[in-house]
Amino acid sequence: MDTSDKLFAAACEVIPGGVNSPVRAWRAVGGSPRFIQRAAGSTITDADGRTYIDYVGSWGPMILGHAHHAVLQAIHRAMRDGTSFGAPTPREIEMARAICAAVPSVEKVRLVSSGTEAAMTALRVARGFTGRQKVVKFAGCYHGHVDSLLVRAGSGALTLGVPDSAGVTADSSRHTLIARFNDIDDVRALFADHGGEIAAVIVEPIVGNMGVVVPAPGFLEGLRQETAAHGALLIFDEVMTGFRVAYGGAQAVYGIRPDLSCFGKVVGGGLPLAAVGGRRDVMDVLAPIGPVYQAGTLSGNPLAVAAGLAVLEEIRSPAVFARLEESGRRLEEGLRESLARTGVRACINRVGSMWTLFFGVDQVRDFDDATANDTERFARFFQGMLRRGVYLPPSAFEAAFISLAHSDDDIDRTIKAAADTLAEL
């Protein structure tokens, strides 16, 4: 047994499943998870001293790479003044202004501590603003572990093969309507049946939680038109895509103006910070000025805001996203060449620095396509890559992430490891 195995056994004694978030348990890929000791730049090092090129990046936050000097300095400087006050601070204004400046559809922002909180708040705001109860989500999209959204969810819920969760009462999910991603007729049918009752449609504009699935041409525009026509709000869950696929998020890439947006991951620089923001008139329903209650002891935490601001400062230049796109393009090209050479049936979906390799299918456009992928073969690929020093997301239903710290040599080594692994699949 190596150190990670021993640590996992010990963890399982006192932590359910040995992890604090299910997807980390490697249930879908076999073996026991590597316990990580430290990380720097594009690499992580486990408790046995093995170093890997990291494509999880803490599930998205590490766009600069791990332990970036600007982020560490910002945290260190902030922590000397204290860690949390439970009172407003000047930096929270800076962060709210930075998000509003980056995302034109956002006029006001509420900072929270997780993407789940952001999505939960967005739903409550939409229901409070419209006075309606129903929400539309898409099979395979994941918006955190909000009861009413843990229905046909993606990410860890899909990874474990239980898109619906025990403990979610029929009452809390009966106002949740499910549509197929990329099927605007499905959405139109729901509005035809429930139009006046639907408070909002919530969507990952580029899905990361089925693995990466991109919106079909016209789909997001269709959602915008349908929601506007029926007085429902459009919520973009950009927890993963915000500040990841572009500085202005997926809404900048596709030119759509949602009513509310959720952010997380990158915006917190790896510390617990997320946000919900949008139209001024909609956000003003929030307490203390409006009737919709929402609160958080650590909301806008000074260290998390300092870390997030440091990241936003580092990624504001368009050259950053050009670099991420170039790294992503090179990796995709190399993987495609390896797939062609080995004749392994698979497809790659990628937007900028977020990507997924799906085995056993030729294209993945929605939940049905994604769930047809060969998860057994993915598990073997994952283990083969791990043996060759490449650490991928331990699930076929997740996005992998490239950071600015991934060098050309990292990309080349990843392609080589993939070529060797595919050859033995």
* Interacting residues with ligand KE4 between 95 and 154 (CB under 6 A): 114-116, 119, 142-144
> Are 205 and 241 within 8 A, CB to CB?
yes
Q: What whole-number distance in Å separates Cα of residue 276 and Cα of residue 262?
A: 5
Kindly write down the DSSP assignment for every residue of 279-336, as one continuous string: -HHHHTTBTTTSSB----TTTT-HHHHHHHHHHHHHH-SHHHHHHHHHHHHHHHHHHH
Cα atoms in the 13 Å half-sphere on the side-chain side of 27: 16
Q: Which helix (H) or strand (E) holds 263?
A: strand 260-263
**Position 251 contacts ligand KE4 (CB under 6 A):** no
**Position 155 contacts ligand KE4 (CB under 6 A):** yes
**Position 264 contacts ligand KE4 (CB under 6 A):** yes
**Position 239 contacts ligand KE4 (CB under 6 A):** yes
Phi, psi of 201 (to 5 degrees): -110, 125
> Are 45 and 53 within 8 A, CB to CB?
no
Which residue among the candidates 237, 259, 366, 410 is catalytic per the annotation? Answer: 237
Confirm whether 142 is a catalytic residue.
yes
User: Which CB sits closer to ligand KE4, 205 or 302?
Assistant: 205
**Position 242 contacts ligand KE4 (CB under 6 A):** no
Residues linked to residue 43 through DSSP beta bridges, in sequence order: 40, 53
**Position 23 contacts ligand KE4 (CB under 6 A):** yes
Confirm whether 237 is a catalytic residue.
yes
**Position 414 contacts ligand KE4 (CB under 6 A):** no
Confirm whether 293 is a catalytic residue.
no
**Position 269 contacts ligand KE4 (CB under 6 A):** no
Residues linked to residue 108 through DSSP beta bridges, in sequence order: 278
> Are 102 and 267 within 8 A, CB to CB?
no
Binding residues for ligand KE4, total number by CB under 6 A: 21
Which residue among the candidates 265, 366, 374, 410 is catalytic per the annotation? Answer: 265
**Position 349 contacts ligand KE4 (CB under 6 A):** no
**Position 59 contacts ligand KE4 (CB under 6 A):** yes
Residue from 46, 54, 226, 237 binding ligand KE4 (CB under 6 A): 237
Q: Which residues are near ligand KE4 by CB under 6 A?
A: 21, 23, 59, 114-116, 119, 142-144, 155-156, 204, 208-209, 237, 239-240, 264, 274, 398
Active site residues: 142, 237, 265
